[in-house]
Structure 1
């Protein structure tokens, strides 16, 4: 397949159309649509588990990251027979459960994949998440702040794992067992966040309005809720450096690692070396902690 001629990929017994394979989606790194589809194939075993059985929101950039974009929740029609959907509150979401569907979306220039916090058909949280969002694009204290949050959770008996958002922030993920509610975790998130703001008032804030945050780092515990979504682990991001949302070791956080190191051109080596760090963690029962906080 070359030039701007349309082509067909044979994947899982399905035919995936590819239009304009040489179209450049990330100009800075010269990543074409065809190269992007190749990288999605590498990411698929890691990305799909965090999108499967979730309601999917995609962000499409038909002319690459420097062009216009739009969010899409409703599945575009007509749909290929291999693309599954899941309905919720009148929205027909795409169910991203296969490489075929992933590459089909890649051909549509879906450059970001955001997964719901709940599973399809359920209303319990699949995990617990803190979204750590710096007020400034370049925040030298970010990893220091993330390390402090991780250590605070650890003192509470809560094991967590950080991941780069792929944009400016970091998300802290806590795999959990079933039986917890979003409301319980929101109250716990408020408790932890308020403690951090009181102990480190010059570093953290829980102020919702950006204009009132100054240069503080925002701990967003409210975003974790029913019907909301997160940039899925291992999703590419539509940033000029083609970054990928990547789980980190806590040692890397303490070493102030640069999130821009992880992009579509480097992620394959990272995954070959580290594998999926999230999948190695045991799901936690938070009942005791939640009871104490309550």
Structure 2
């Protein structure tokens, strides 16, 4: 993670607005701006419109970079005055960054001061400042060093992201293996959440959530927690008690600090509710979790997702797709927050019952294992008050540690499973980031007309 000077941008493609990607660079000691690659992930509609407005104010006819053939010919140039903060997976041999994610503009940094930073070992940055000043080395840092040396195959060890873990983050037992299948350690998972934090927080901010802790790792006992004291979880926020007065206060993870402190606390999975805390009584999404029974093939799951999408489109409802990180897929409908929990859950149940009645050989309406042998249960129970679904970019506490990833419908046929991407391979997806869901927020629809079309009358 480091800052780069913005020297230009490319045009957007498809339905995207603003820009396609930013062209990035850094200065050498002689004042020459060297091209360092581009970044096209990490934006939403608001940030795209904001940044194109700023770029147009500093438009230029002159290429500010040193001569190179790596830049797209149709690029638009700007005066090199804006500074972007970016995370990325690695530097290539040709001097460009890969798997980059935009995190924002840095108004506190002068462009002329931006240099290519050198990676620092994770065991050094994990030491508290007091220990660094005194010259003492923490036990945790020593363990991290030993873990790095002992690891047979650490898929994230070469990533520059670990060089930017907060200096205040002390990771205990970093070398503890949390998944024997993939060989993932606790520090690997912390690094992963640091890597995807910018993407994941778009799906976490503002929503009450549940944390799935796995102190004994994958295969051990799991602890599903919607409530917790936050003194041991810096950055995690307790939501107002009045949102759920009969229970302890709910939690929100609104920032990187909260995300990483949860990972240090052995949280593997992050599950969010279907409403924002600020308008908690009115859900703003509807989730259909395609959960395959015994004997269901992956092709059947893919076909089920397409059928689900087709039916929702007949109702005039948009459908967005993501892998679950487990065995199935999640079809998500963004809603205008107009109806209460009971109405949304009731209507989602009505849709699933219709699908099961229309295609009984494919779908089951009841969730029990005996009811869905060879069939798919479309889990509508995720739409109840207090219910949660694994968030996009959340890892899963399953062998192999799959992750939930937003995908475009055109990508569905190429997926190999609900765990197509894992913690170990996440860096190969960062160039796409949340782009497949770029239209999610502005696609929010009302279910009023759809309920009338199906003849559903809320109780």
* Conserved? CA contact 1:41–1:99, under 8 Å: yes
Runs of 5+ in structure 2 lacking a partner? 1-122, 125-136, 145-161
Runs of 5+ in structure 1 lacking a partner? none
* Conserved? CA contact 2:234–2:258, under 8 Å: no
* Conserved? CA contact 2:204–2:254, under 8 Å: yes
Of 364, 372, 377, the residue aligned with 1:213 is 372
Larger mean Cα displacement after TM superposition, 173-182 or 183-192: 183-192
TM-score by length of 1: 0.89
| 1:71 matched residue in structure 2 | 224
Q: Distance in 2 between matches of 1:242 and 1:4?
A: 29
Are 1:54 and 2:207 an aligned pair? Answer: yes
Superposition deviation, residue 11 in structure 1: 7.7
| 2:109 matched residue in structure 1 | none
Tell me the matched-pair count.
294
Distance 1:292 1:261, change over 3 A: closer
Are 1:196 and 2:355 an aligned pair? Answer: yes
Are 1:139 and 2:292 an aligned pair? Answer: no
Q: Distance in 1 between matches of 2:227 and 2:450?
A: 38
Distance 1:52 1:256, change over 3 A: closer
Superposed, 1:81-120 pairs within 5 Å as: 82-86=235-239, 87=241, 88=244, 89-120=246-277
Distance 1:111 1:173, change over 3 A: same
* Conserved? CA contact 2:286–2:335, under 8 Å: yes
Are 1:181 and 2:315 an aligned pair? Answer: no
Are 1:248 and 2:407 an aligned pair? Answer: yes
Q: Distance in 2 between matches of 1:83 and 1:149?
A: 35
Superposition deviation, residue 278 in structure 1: 2.5
Over the aligned positions, Cα root-mean-square deviation in angstroms equals 2.7
If you compute each CA radius of gyration, which structure gives the higher value, 1 or 2? 2
Three-state SS of the structure 2 residue aligned to 1:280 is coil
Three-state SS of the structure 2 residue aligned to 1:131 is strand
Q: Distance in 2 between matches of 1:29 and 1:172?
A: 27
Distance 1:137 1:79, change over 3 A: farther
TM-score by length of 2: 0.59
Three-state SS of the structure 2 residue aligned to 1:215 is coil
* Conserved? CA contact 1:4–1:20, under 8 Å: no
More strand by share: 1
Superposed, 1:37-52 pairs within 5 Å as: 37-52=190-205
